[in-house]
Homo-oligomer: A and B are copies of this chain.
Amino acid sequence: MKVRDLGEFGLIAMLDQIIRQSGAAYLKDDSHGIGIGEDAAAWGSRQPMQLGTTDMLVENVHFTLEGVNWRDLGWKSLAVNISDIAAMGGTPTCAMVSLGLPPDTEVGDIAELYRGMAEVAREFDMPVVGGDLTEAPVLIISPSVIGQTDQGKLMTRSGARSGDKIAVTGYLGASAAGLRVIRHKVDVDHEISSQLKLAHAKPHPRIKEGLKLVEAGARAAIDISDGLIADLSHICQASAVHARINSTDIPVYPAALAAFGNEALDMALCGGEDYELLVTAPKEVIEAARAHLGSVSLTVIGEVEKGLPGKVTLVDETGKEIEPEKGGWEHFGSRY
């Protein structure tokens, strides 16, 4: 069987099983940890717990170099890893960056890439402490971000409970709308198109918001990288719960709505890469957290219910079940 036939999630399940069966998932007696299947791994018995995450970006898979802004690429490649730490309710400690470079890459472009990384690293007070450079046939950016929890409290994909409200920080659909503007040179207002392109190019990880959520008592979260529906499905599968969300409650990014009208809802539901936090928690926890989020909104979009475990149901204003146009991103397969 080929990797393309098994698909990303099948492969992850297989590798997880190999690691567990071999005893290599075993954590030392004095440690407890969280491993494969979360936004970040967590380990260590002493407080704070350590967190770690890694996301590899590959040219022509995750990005192309045609018209690329190298500095933005540097920002985003670290930001998406920082976002995984935010989803656990942690803070980033430091980063390591491995780069695979074709020998004819321009040195000035790599300098710009690093300036973008340095920019987001400074923004989040997270030194870049090491890495590796090697030759490769295409550009490969493989950062690891290490973080830590605040007093051992953290959020996981498996922490959702029946009765929890489902909420999301900020607005959704901006990144997908920005990608559309970049790719198809859509005719929209300059100010709007700038906002959308920026949202796609330079996502801002929700570290502060994750901290406030975990402090308020939230115990289930994920960052929206694959798309709202897809990422909520990940929570539902890990927590063995059912989620019902209301299409009219989805906080669609205003500039995406202005540019794309009704299509913007699908961008918010399925577009991905918004790097907002999707969280489930009792109503009072959501309300307590909201009070500390300042200008960042925290919108309730549905609730966790008993029902078919792992399933996400989307309903319209009449309560009728509707199907989103498409789902999230799975590697080695196609958008489904």
Q: Which residues of A contact B (CB under 8 A)?
A: 1-6, 8, 11-12, 14-15, 18-19, 22-28, 33-36, 38, 40-44, 46, 50, 52-58, 60-62, 93-94, 96, 98-108, 110-111, 114-115, 117-119, 121-122, 125-138, 140, 142, 144, 146, 331-332
Residues of chain B with a CB closer than 8 A to A19's CB: 114, 117-118, 121, 127-128
CA distance A110 to B140 in the complex (A): 20
Instruction: Verify A111–B3 contact, CB threshold 8 A.
Output: no
Instruction: Verify A115–B27 contact, CB threshold 8 A.
Output: no
Given contacts A11-B133, A125-B28, contact A115 B2 (CB under 8 A): no
CA distance A100 to B93 in the complex (A): 26
CA distance A11 to B114 in the complex (A): 11
Instruction: Verify B122–A36 contact, CB threshold 8 A.
Output: no
Instruction: Verify B4–A104 contact, CB threshold 8 A.
Output: yes
CB distance from A99 to the nearest CB of B (A): 8
CA distance A94 to B19 in the complex (A): 12
CB distance from A156 to the nearest CB of B (A): 13
CB distance from A3 to the nearest CB of B (A): 4
Residues of chain B with a CB closer than 8 A to A41's CB: 94, 96, 129-130
Given contacts A6-B107, A14-B111, A35-B127, contact A144 B54 (CB under 8 A): yes
Given A34-B129, A43-B146, list of 11 further CB < 8 A pairs? A2-B106, A22-B119, A24-B118, A25-B127, A25-B129, A27-B94, A35-B127, A35-B129, A36-B128, A98-B142, A103-B332
Q: Which of the listed residues A28, A38, A130 has the most CB atoms from chain B within 10 Å of its own CB?
A: A130
Instruction: Verify A107–B22 contact, CB threshold 8 A.
Output: no
Given contacts A19-B118, A114-B18, A118-B24, contact A105 B3 (CB under 8 A): yes
Instruction: Verify B102–A3 contact, CB threshold 8 A.
Output: yes
Point out the residue from B22, B108, B110 that lies within 8 Å of A115, measured CB to CB: B22
CA distance A128 to B18 in the complex (A): 11
